[in-house]
Amino acid sequence: MELIQQLINGVSLGSIYALIALGYTMVYGIVKLINFAHGDVFMVGSFVGFYSITVLDLSFVPALLISMTVCALFGVLIERIAYKPLRNATRIAALITAIGVSLLIEYGFIYVRGAQPEAYPNDVLPADKFNIFGVSINSQSVLIFGVAVVLMIILQIIVHRTKIGKAMRAVSFDADAAKLMGINVDNTISATFAIGSALAGAAGVIFGIYYIKIEPLMGVLPGLKAFVAAVLGGIGIIPGAMVGGLLLGVIEALVSAAGYSLWRDAVAFVVLILILIFLPQGLFGKNKKEKV
């Protein structure tokens, strides 16, 4: 029974990782850039949701939509200002810029509003407890898992059934060839950032409702964990990010359940190192040979 309870704990945590990991993986898939500022977009989303609920007095769904919209615009803005001018620069230049953008958002935010934490109101979503065979399930964790799954399905539909999704897949395959075929590469990349950031914003609101406490540096660790999740599933592969996120959440829960709660973060990064050594393409990745 305790094990099932722990699996449920892990899946709730993993759903949030998965939503953030999707943004990482999409951006990497298209521009081969690890967007380290993604965790901070998650933080901004969380605060936008907080202010929507407390200041504008909105309920869960409108707050979620506002947060996703603001984050989508924010993501596009970051891409246009910081990454686009570096599109043909070296990979390392883009990577360092990403770290710089991340720090700028974190400390810029602290400069504007201070570092003190904020607490989400407790009554945004009902938190009823169900007891099924001695396992207590919080209605919030069911809802969080539900929202995460729905958003991932919508994402899959966008990528595989729409024109912009087709463009995204084409650009990720070969940007130059896509350009020759008349695809607007810049707009496609912006769309990718918008969708990925919107998912991070949704994860931010969900995180706030489930974990209550939010603060300007809250994006750092979940951002890194989501990166691990993306690599675990195979970076660039959308279903991989989902599975990687859920798996990482469950691994963390089981490590705590075994009594090693202080090792939880360390284990997540050990997983990253092991994956990079033994399975660099990730669980869902195909081992592609580079053409010479």
Partner 1 sequence: MKKKKLASAFLSLTLAAGVLAGCSGSGSSDKSSGDGDTIKIGVNLELSGGVASYGQSIAEGLELATAEINKEGIDGKKIKLIKVDNKSEASEATSGAIKLTSQDQVAAIVGAATSTNSIAQVQIAQDNKVPVISPSGTSPEITFSKDKLNDYIFRTSFIDPFQGTVAANFATKEIKAKSAAIYIDSSSDYSKGLAAAFKEQFEKNGGKIVAEEAYIAKDTDFRSTLTRLKSAKPDFIFLPGYYEEAGLIVKQARETGLDVPFMGGDGWDSPKLVEIAGAKALNNTFITNHYSSGDPDEKIQNFVSAFKAKYKDKSPDAFNALGYDTGYFLADAIKRAGSADSEKIKEALEKTADLELVTGTFTLDEKHNPIKSATILEFKEGKQVFNTKINP
Which residues here bind partner 1, judged by CB under 8 A? 2, 5-6, 9-10, 12-13, 117, 119, 122, 127, 129, 131, 136, 138, 211-213, 217-218, 221, 252-257, 259, 261-262, 265
Pairing type for strands 129-132 and 135-138 reads: antiparallel
Comparing CB distances to partner 1, the nearer of 262 and 292 is 262
Comparing CB distances to partner 1, the nearer of 12 and 52 is 12
Supply φ then ψ for residue 133, to 5 degrees: 50, 45
Contact between 195 and 19 (Cβ < 8 Å):
no
Compute the least distance from the CB of residue 198 to partner 1, in Å: 22
Comparing CB distances to partner 1, the nearer of 66 and 253 is 253
Would you call 179 exposed, middle or buried from its count of C-beta atoms within 10 A (0-12, 13-18, 19+)? middle
Compute the least distance from the CB of residue 237 to partner 1, in Å: 26
CA separation for the pair 149, 206 (Å, rounded): 13
Would you call 257 exposed, middle or buried from its count of C-beta atoms within 10 A (0-12, 13-18, 19+)? middle
Compute the least distance from the CB of residue 266 to partner 1, in Å: 11
Instruction: Tell me how crowded residue 128 is: count the other CB atoms within 10 A of its CB.
Output: 10
Compute the least distance from the CB of residue 148 to partner 1, in Å: 16
Comparing CB distances to partner 1, the nearer of 52 and 140 is 140
With the CA atoms of 203, 207, 209 and 215 taken in that order, what torsion angle do they form, in degrees rounded to the nearest 10?
-120
Comparing CB distances to partner 1, the nearer of 178 and 218 is 218
Compute the least distance from the CB of residue 105 to partner 1, in Å: 18
Comparing CB distances to partner 1, the nearer of 104 and 257 is 257
Compute the least distance from the CB of residue 228 to partner 1, in Å: 15
Compute the least distance from the CB of residue 122 to partner 1, in Å: 4
CA separation for the pair 160, 135 (Å, rounded): 38
Sequence-ordered alpha helix ranges (H) in 114-237: 139-161, 163-173, 175-180, 185-211, 220-233
Contact between 228 and 24 (Cβ < 8 Å):
no
Comparing CB distances to partner 1, the nearer of 78 and 248 is 248
